[in-house]
Amino acid sequence: MILLLGGARSGKSDTAVRLAASAGAPVTFIATAEAGDAEMAERIERHRAQRPTEWTTVEAPLDLHSAVGSAPPADYMVIDCLTLWVSNLLGHGRSGRDVLAEARRVADLLWERPAVVVSNEVGFGIVPANELARLFGDTLGSANAIFASAASRTLLMVAGRAFALPSIDDALAVE
């Protein structure tokens, strides 16, 4: 599994689509967005239009575990994105602890599968002033760390460029 992290409009989704298209396998695309307003519906449609029509798309705004578990084992999977999935779960009353337990379950399913997972890195800014925003940032950051620990590679996307992030073991290794 590859984890793609980055800010808004950093090229995460485009890179995920490129990785999947070059995988040489059928693709299951798991979308977590919900069209809560007209702008989001338009955004979802733009993303759909960028994907090859032969890919299978699964809408999974809440039950990511079932979506991943039901994808054919030979398929390359794209999950776009953890950010919206975490937001959806918190918005439906799930606790941060519950979200992280679910993140671990999904990451465990993906550990040895060919997949790319997209998520935003939201920890570069200031600590938010309200409780819900802090809960979201803390939960997403911890979920990203769970997926990074299960990933074979983690890339940070900035302005359409990918930077490889070493594991903590690699970063601390003494030569």
Convert the pLDDT of each residue in 145-155 to its tens digit. Answer: 999 999 999 99
Strand-strand pairing, 2-6 and 153-158: parallel
| Length of the chain counted residue by residue | 175
Cβ neighbors of 157 (< 8 A, separation 6 or more) are 4, 5, 6, 7, 10, 11, 12, 15, 163
Nearest to 89 by CA among 49, 50, 140, 134: 140
Residue 157, helix vs strand vs coil: strand
Cα separation of 165 and 154, whole Å? 6
For residues 67 and 110, is the Cβ–Cβ distance under 8 A? no
Write b or e for each residue in 131-160: b if 16 or more Cβ atoms lie within 10 A of its Cβ, otherwise e. Answer: eeeebbbbbbebbbbbbbebbeebbbbeee
pLDDT at 175 over 80: no
pLDDT at 163 over 60: yes
Say what the pLDDT of residue 142 is: 98
| Token digits of residue 146 | 């769970």
- Only one residue has tokens 């999947």, namely 20
Cα separation of 98 and 75, whole Å? 28
- Average pLDDT of every residue of the chain: 94
How many Cβ atoms from other residues are within 10 Å of residue 101's Cβ?
12
pLDDT at 174 over 90: no
pTM for this structure? 0.93
Say what the pLDDT of residue 75 is: 97
Active site residues: 47
Cα separation of 20 and 115, whole Å? 8
Percent of the chain with pLDDT over 90: 82
